[in-house]
Structure 1
Amino acid sequence: MILLLAGCAMDRVRNADELAAPSGLHREHIATGTFVLTAYTRIPRADRPLRVYIEGDGLAWITRTQPSADPTPRNAVGLTLAAQDASDNVAYLARPCQFTPMSLNPQCTPVWWTGKRFGIEIVNAMNAAIDRLAARAPGQRVELIGYSGGGALAVLLAARRHDVASIRTVAGNLDTEFVNQLHEVSAMPESLNPINEADRVAAIPQLHISGANDKIVPPSVAARFASATGPRCVRTRTLNGLDHGGNWAAQWPALLSEAPVCSDQK
């Protein structure tokens, strides 16, 4: 069973490498002190902003009650979006314990991709990784883009940084308590809820995109977050025909052309 799981994980890493390579994104490991994170990066211009993509929750659960032994996503939507981005500086961050050999992260247990997946330890590790990436373009602004649970982390990170130029989320879980209640699953008292940070990110330009057919994180989640944040800097968009794991990549180049701005900056 251990060999089978290792083989499946390696297949997912190989698929990610093949997805990233045509866009010039190269895999690397970033040590944060708590976790070693996997990233795919293309940062050739120290004088240009850095766009950072954050992956979703991945294969967190096998069934409604059984956690996965490895959260590496089978369909890495966040990486798919990053691979569509022709910007000068692009980085993709997998979540802790995704894509990285467990031998490099002996502390990886299911709690980090279930009840504590938005815990302060996770936020701090992701923040440290972004610090390392941002150091390659010193003084430049950072644009955060998160898919699904990565959208939650984009908000939580932006609330703790001073270099964030914008936030974009795709099917973003922006109110984790509401989403858990919607699906009648356990609360996550050891995780942070991004909607509680609404005031801290209210002045950052944001675009939150939902799929009209998304039953996992429906458009009402983005609407709740926008209501909590206020209308000055936050816009929401709902795309017809898309569900949670839909073909977002086909829409992504056009969506990237819609730069988030605050109403007094238009």
Structure 2
Amino acid sequence: MTALSPLTSKVLTAMFAVLLVVLCSLLSDCTTLDRDAHADALAAPFQLHREQVKTEHFVLTAFVRMTRADQPLTVYIEGDGLAWISRTEPSADPTPRMATALALAAADPTPNVVYLARPCQFTPMALNPLCAVPYWTSKRFAPEIVASMDEAVSQFAAKVPGQPVHLVGYSGGGAVAVLVAARRADIASIRTVAGNLDTEFVNRLHDVSAMPESLNPIDAASRVAMVPQVHFSGADDTVVPPEVAQRFVRATGGRCAQANIVPGLDHSGDWAGQWPAMLPLAPVCKAR
């Protein structure tokens, strides 16, 4: 029997991951999908290795490829995942069915890429005594959540001392990216994809409960106003419509932030397929 070449093996593994996504989209109930296996199959062909990151409040799951200490670090932050089974029923496990931010990280060819799952995603609940439904519903942007994500970014940034740190966040991960950046002085850029950058506005838009125990990223807009940033929105996104990014850009003053509307994509569209073409659109500040 002829052995598969390493390249063929990688291609087959990637195809398996894609097939899982397609099958999930066709099923009426995707909760039976092995979400951990799907993430591992998606990450493996791109040398993204699973790690656990211990922080003060939570143990986080990361997928990591860091090969050059003299190069910048890009950190991808996952969205809210499977937070709700229905409009009124929260999930027992917020691990995403399809980890969009992980797919974005896999499409990034740079040497230092880290994917951070949100607290209580992918990590066994036994390792996280604090994990409970509020931390992926009403408290998903609570100060302790942001502090844990910030602590994880610091642990990886320490491995590339002095190098720029870039943050990329998908959906609710965009909110976390802004809130983490507002706490730090080493963030070189922020990019969000379908980012929930004004949680109060989005909650009112969908007529759902307010989140008084969570931070709202638009309240931190002035603190990140001088960080180069670009916020991508899908033209067909009805979950987090383009107006959300536009409101956030206005709140920053617009010198270093820009909103970019991508035709033909909705909230859960094929962002990873578009990502290689979007990566070169580097955030910049306008000249005074």
In the superposition, the TM-score normalised over structure 1's length comes to 0.95
CA contact (8 A) 1:174 1:193 kept: yes
**2:97 aligns to what?**
74
CA contact (8 A) 1:232 1:263 kept: yes
Report matched runs for 1:31-110 at 5 Å: 31-110=54-133
How far 1:135 sits from its partner (Å)?
Answer: 1.0
CA–CA distance in structure 1, aligned partners of residues 75 and 35 of structure 2 = 21
CA–CA distance in structure 2, aligned partners of residues 126 and 10 of structure 1 = 26
How far 1:230 sits from its partner (Å)?
Answer: 1.3
**1:4 aligns to what?**
none
CA contact (8 A) 2:194 2:231 kept: yes
The one of 7, 17, 21 aligned to 2:40: 17
CA contact (8 A) 1:9 1:70 kept: no
Q: 1:122 to 1:131 in 2, by over 3 A?
A: same
CA–CA distance in structure 2, aligned partners of residues 27 and 70 of structure 1 = 19
How far 1:140 sits from its partner (Å)?
Answer: 1.1
**1:5 aligns to what?**
none
- Could you list the per-position Cα deviations for residues 129-178 of structure 1 after superposition, in whole angstroms to 9, with x for gaps in the alignment? 11111111111111000000000000000000010000000000000000
Give the total of aligned pairs: 258
Report matched runs for 1:1-266 at 5 Å: 11-264=34-287
Which one has a bigger Cα radius of gyration?
A: 2
SS of the aligned residue for 2:274 comes to helix
CA–CA distance in structure 2, aligned partners of residues 171 and 74 of structure 1 = 17
- Could you list the per-position Cα deviations for residues 15-49 of structure 1 after superposition, in whole angstroms to 9, with x for gaps in the alignment? 10110011110000000021000000001111111
CA contact (8 A) 2:192 2:231 kept: yes
- Amino-acid identity (%): 65
SS of the aligned residue for 2:126 comes to helix
CA contact (8 A) 1:20 1:83 kept: yes
Structure 1 unmatched ranges of 5 or more: 1-7
CA contact (8 A) 2:171 2:194 kept: yes
In the superposition, the TM-score normalised over structure 2's length comes to 0.88
CA RMSD of aligned residues (A): 1.1
SS of the aligned residue for 1:264 comes to coil
4+ residue segments displaced more than 3 Å? none
CA contact (8 A) 2:33 2:97 kept: no
